[in-house]
Amino acid sequence: MIDAADLTDNDFLRQFELKVQDELAIIEYSSQDRKIFLTKLIIPECVTDENFEEEFLTLVFDHIAESSLSVVPTSPEIAKFIRRHRKYKKMLPVGIRI
């Protein structure tokens, strides 16, 4: 299980980071107005837990929800996550459908 305290929002590199063993799991983003564009998901090869991606994305989406930002997924993996978790669809900006 991933702890929310382990998630880092690296503003300088514009990415969410989570340390896994000696590597980083990363979700790259860009922000504009009140929207955050999630552009790339990188999971290190050392991760063997099949639920890791799901837990990492849940953690990031919960963090973004606290900021009241809209989410625009440009990565296929992140769009697929939103399709599977309808509760995050409300975070999409008006006019964006997945």
CATH (domain of 27): 3.40.630.30
Residues contacting 1, CB < 8 A, separation 6+: 55
Q: Is there a domain that residue 97 lies in?
A: no
Q: Is there a domain that residue 74 lies in?
A: yes
Domain count, the chain: 1
pLDDT surpassing 80 at residue 4: no
Q: Is there a domain that residue 96 lies in?
A: no
Task: Out of 26-30, 44-48, 70-74, 78-82, pick the least confident.
Answer: 44-48
Q: Is there a domain that residue 98 lies in?
A: no
* Sheet containing strand 15-20, strands side by side: 7-10, 15-20, 23-32, 35-42, 70-73
> Distance between CA 76 and CA 43 in Å, rounded?
14
Q: Is there a domain that residue 15 lies in?
A: yes
pLDDT for residue 1: 62
Q: Is there a domain that residue 84 lies in?
A: yes
pLDDT surpassing 90 at residue 80: yes
- What's the burial of 21, exposed, middle or buried (CB within 10 Å: 0-12/13-18/19+)? exposed
Three-class SS state of 20: strand
Q: Which domain holds residue 67?
A: 4-91
Q: Most distant CA pair in the chain: distance in Å? A: 40
CA dihedral 82, 69, 40, 52 (to 10 degrees): -60
Which band of pLDDT confidence, cut at 50, 70 and 90, is reported for residue 69?
very high
**Tens of pLDDT along 9-59?**
999 999 999 998 889 999 999 999 899 999 999 999 988 888 999 999 999
